[in-house]
Amino acid sequence: MKRYSAFAIAREALRHHTGWERAWTSPEPRQRYDVVIIGGGGHGLATAYYLGKNFGITNVAVLEKGWIGGGNTGRNTTIIRSNYLQDPSAAIYEKSRGLFETLSQDINFNLMFSPRGVMMLAQTQHEVRGYTRTAHANALQGVDTEFIGPQRVKELCPIMNIEGPRYPVLGALWQPRAGTGRHDALVWGFARACSDMGMDIIQNCEVTGIHSEDGEVSGVSTTRGDIACDKLGIVVAGHSGRLAEMAGFRLPIESVALQALVSEPIKPCMDVVVMANTVHGYMSQSDKGEMVIGGGADGFNNYTQRGSFHHIEETVRALCETFPVINRLKMLRQWGGIVDMTGDRSPILSKTPLGNCFINCGWGTGGWKATPGSGWGFAELMVRGYSPLTAAFGLERFREGRFIDESVAAGVAH
């Protein structure tokens, strides 16, 4: 694989850009692999990448029923943060945030990681107490956050109206090294790196069945033939319940649509990310000038990837109170992604009742920011049967009542 660099761009410019290689190959599936990963999104590709990088396992196939980056990875709003309350959550999200810092260099692909800072507004006294508590928890966890007052909020985001008639800004939980990254670039970079290690990235390959022998997984049936494997990883976000049913077990999750939109591009006016639970919306400005806006998930189960007008109205109406400057902006486009929600709003990274079959799901509205950390821990779990990053997120916690309650930290879609 040729390395991307300023020198490579100059060289190819002299060649009229005729020497660029395909980013990754598209081979026909082989009959057998050591590991098969179902799902070519961020978490699936990250798992494959760290299987190769950390453990030297490269006889791997990543099966994607559509195209790379066509699912939730290409449908999120790019926020990266780790200011969660519970210790297991903070550990995996902070691991991920730390990996993002150098990931562009690691995989030789520009992820456009921008540690611009994320603030979560406190607009009620209840939120002030809650975020103060989280700031203390983060200090113990080694996560760099602080609770700041309204004047500091105004300094960081001058376009904000901190004296709103209904919900004045009383402060915010501020994480200065959080930020945003390019979602498409992450999957493209991981796919390219995996392909360079000899792994097979197989698109347009839907899994239609999961086979087992003597209580252990033996392979999968796909629209492109049967594939045998020694280990299987299921990483398919909102469709996890369907794949689990194929493997013979059920999951405590439900699938819903999560919606977002962007405005027409405008001149730079906001260089931080702002999340507001009380009015239930969040906003940042993209590198192209669009205001990236999101809110809550649908209140009913569905598998749609469309947006709906009532969510646009509710979310934008609320944000206009806090950011009056956006009142007259036009919407450029909207979209939806299918997210899988657990009861405690924390993910599942676990062994399953089917031997040598592992599942990574339940990230709900916060999966993007965890992508490299999730892949790191899930790869370790698949190889060693245990990972300190994933130990608390096993399926057995629902039976044992060991919930990791992040309903407040995930109270606004992000």
Question: Which of 288, 319, 340 represents a domain boundary (last residue)?
Answer: 340
pLDDT of residue 45: 97
Domain assignment present for 414: no
| 334 in the same domain as 266 | yes
* Residues 294, 235 share a domain: no
| Tokens 């980013």 -> residue | 23
79 or 280, higher pLDDT: 79
Residues 69 and 35 in one domain: yes
Q: Is residue 310 part of a domain?
A: yes
Is there a single domain that holds both residue 105 and residue 186? yes
- Percentage above 70 pLDDT, the chain: 98
Residue with tokens 């089917």: 354
Above pLDDT 90, what percent of the chain?
A: 76
| Interstrand relation of 348-351 and 357-361 (parallel, antiparallel or unpaired) | antiparallel
HEC profile of 361-413? ECCCCCCHHHHHHHHHHHHHHHHHCCCCCCHHHCCHHHHHCCCCCCCCCCCCC
CATH of the domain at 314: 3.30.9.10
CB 156 within 8 A of CB 270: no
Judge whether 303 and 335 are in contact, CB under 8 Å: no
Same domain, 263 and 248: no
Residue type, 316: V
Tell me, yes or no, whether 265 lies in a domain. Answer: yes
201 occurs within a structural domain = yes
Domain stop point among 298, 325, 340 = 340
Task: Supply the DSSP symbol for 21.
Answer: P
Residues 215 and 304 in one domain: no
Does the residue 135 lie in any domain? Answer: yes
* 202 and 322 share one domain: no
| Cβ atoms of residues 37 and 61 within 8 Å | yes
CATH number at residue 383: 3.50.50.60
Please say if the pLDDT value at position 35 is more than 50.
yes
List, for residues 95-146, the tens digit of each pLDDT value.
999 999 999 999 999 999 999 999 999 999 999 999 999 999 999 999 999 9
* 273 domain-assigned: yes
Over 50: is that where the pLDDT of 323 sits?
A: yes
Confidence category of residue 197, pLDDT binned at 50, 70, 90: very high
The whole-number pLDDT of residue 39 equals 96
**Does residue 357 or residue 339 have the better pLDDT?**
357
Return the pLDDT at 413: 47
Question: What is the helix (H) or strand (E) element at residue 179, kind and residue range?
Answer: strand 179-180
Number of domains making up the chain: 2
Examine the domain organization and report whether 261 and 210 are in the same domain. no
Q: Return the minimum-mean-pLDDT range out of 2-6, 26-30, 164-168, 204-208.
A: 164-168
pLDDT at 410 over 70: no
Same domain, 34 and 88: yes
The answer to whether position 362 is within a domain reads yes
> Is position 15 within any domain?
no
Domain stop point among 340, 360, 379 = 340
Tokens of 137: 């928890």
Q: Which range marks the domain in which residue 149 is found?
A: 118-177+255-340
Whether 261 and 329 map to the same domain: the answer is: yes
At residue 412, the pLDDT reads 52
Residue 302 sits in the same domain as residue 392: no
Taking only the tens place, the pLDDT of each residue in 224-247 is 999 999 999 999 998 999 999 999
Predicted pLDDT at 300: 77
DSSP state of 78: -
- Checking if the pLDDT of 165 tops 80, the result is no
Q: Is 90 exceeded by the pLDDT of residue 252? A: yes
With cut-offs at 50, 70 and 90, classify the pLDDT of residue 408. Answer: low
In order, the DSSP letters of 25-36 are --PPPPSEEEEE
Stretch 9-37: mean pLDDT, rounded? 92
Select from 76, 84, 89 the least CA-distant residue to 42: 76
Q: Are residues 37 and 151 in the same domain?
A: no
Rounded mean pLDDT of the chain? 92
304 or 80, which is more confident?
80
